[in-house]
Amino acid sequence: MDEQKKLDEFQRRIDNGEKIEPKDWMPDRYRKQLIRMMSQHAHSEVVGMLPEGNWIERAPSLKRKKVLLAKVQDEAGHGLYIYSAVETLGVTRRELVEEYIYGKAKYSSIFNYPTLTYADICAIGWLVDGAAIVNQTMLAKSSYGPYSRSMVRICKEESFHKKQGYEMLAKMANGTPEQKKMAQDAVNRWWWPTLMMFGPPDDESPNSAELIKWGVKSKTNDELRQSFVDRTVMEAKKIGIELPDPDLKYNKETGHWDYGEIPWDEFWEVIRGNGPMNRERIRARRKAYEEGAWVREAASEYARKKKLRDEKAS
């Protein structure tokens, strides 16, 4: 089959809603886009452990400490599901990890913001994980089988993440005036960066059209952002929290909530590496990778020697 025929057949399968599996023929560009997008996603899950891990030892109660530990462990698991899915495209785990720690691979800009109080942990669960659910529910229908399956797995766990955050925030919002102030302050700081998580507006998003054509995504950045805003406005109202946007207004014609101008300059600055925590995040990941090297080597060496011993014994 010549290249064009293969490409047409591939597009036909996508349009039919079929899943593409690792050994199926796929355009080189599809493979590359997937590797880029999925590895960014995996890196984000892993780096996402840092802002929250920051508070494990200072959790307000044993219960909250257990919850946070479980959540952070899930984030590690999510990273591993996706890395395992990217590896089916013919890249090694080490290449992926090192491209991120020493190279140019990106991760979600949201994790370059600091967690200043415990209320930030509540706000992250509610807003950041809430936004992730909107995005990942769409990705669960992705045309690439292994990616889609890893998203199904993640979505099942993610609703716990959101719910524990929302519950805690609701408690704080109905607590003492100081607690209420803390909760509101955290939401004020996390609202806009959360809206940026969906990526640049549609007219500035170079990859969107291609990803949609190939069924990797099925909605645009702005569509996803809007559906997140719509559901979050209601949730905020119910717990007496205000969203820090004076332009937030229900639009009767569209049936959606209109929101104000997102500070995109800030977004691009963070992407460029100048967010409040960019350097710290990379430093922490490098440190963990390099200081853990001897453990990985020792385990390999142990396995090698044990195998030799077992072979001799038999």
- Smallest gap from Cβ 84 to other proteins, in A, equals 4
Does residue 307 touch other proteins according to CB under 8 A? yes
Does residue 150 touch other proteins according to CB under 8 A? yes
**Candidate list 81, 118, 191, 257; residue touching other proteins; CB under 8 A:** 81
Does residue 93 touch other proteins according to CB under 8 A? yes
- The residues with which 249 forms a beta bridge, in sequence order, are 258
304: exposed, middle or buried (Cβ count in 10 Å: 0-12, 13-18, 19+):
exposed
Does residue 73 touch other proteins according to CB under 8 A? yes
* Distance (Å, whole) CA 89 – CA 146: 10
Near other proteins in 3-32, by CB under 8 A: 21, 23-25
Toward other proteins, which CB reaches closer, 156 or 171?
Answer: 156
Stretch that binds other proteins, among 46-54, 123-131, 165-173, 300-308 (CB under 8 A): 300-308
Let me know: does 46 contact 285? Beta carbons within 8 Å: yes
235: exposed, middle or buried (Cβ count in 10 Å: 0-12, 13-18, 19+):
middle
Let me know: does 260 contact 191? Beta carbons within 8 Å: no
Binding mask 271-290 for other proteins (x = CB under 8 A): -------------------x
Does residue 45 touch other proteins according to CB under 8 A? no
Toward other proteins, which CB reaches closer, 24 or 202?
Answer: 24
**Candidate list 80, 138, 140, 248; residue touching other proteins; CB under 8 A:** 80
- Smallest gap from Cβ 70 to other proteins, in A, equals 8
Does residue 98 touch other proteins according to CB under 8 A? yes
Question: Which residue, 85, 203, 96, is CA-closest to 154?
Answer: 85
Residues that bind other proteins (CB under 8 A): 21, 23-25, 70, 73-74, 77, 80-81, 84-85, 87, 92-94, 98, 101-103, 146, 149-150, 153, 157, 290, 293, 296-297, 299-300, 302-303, 306-307
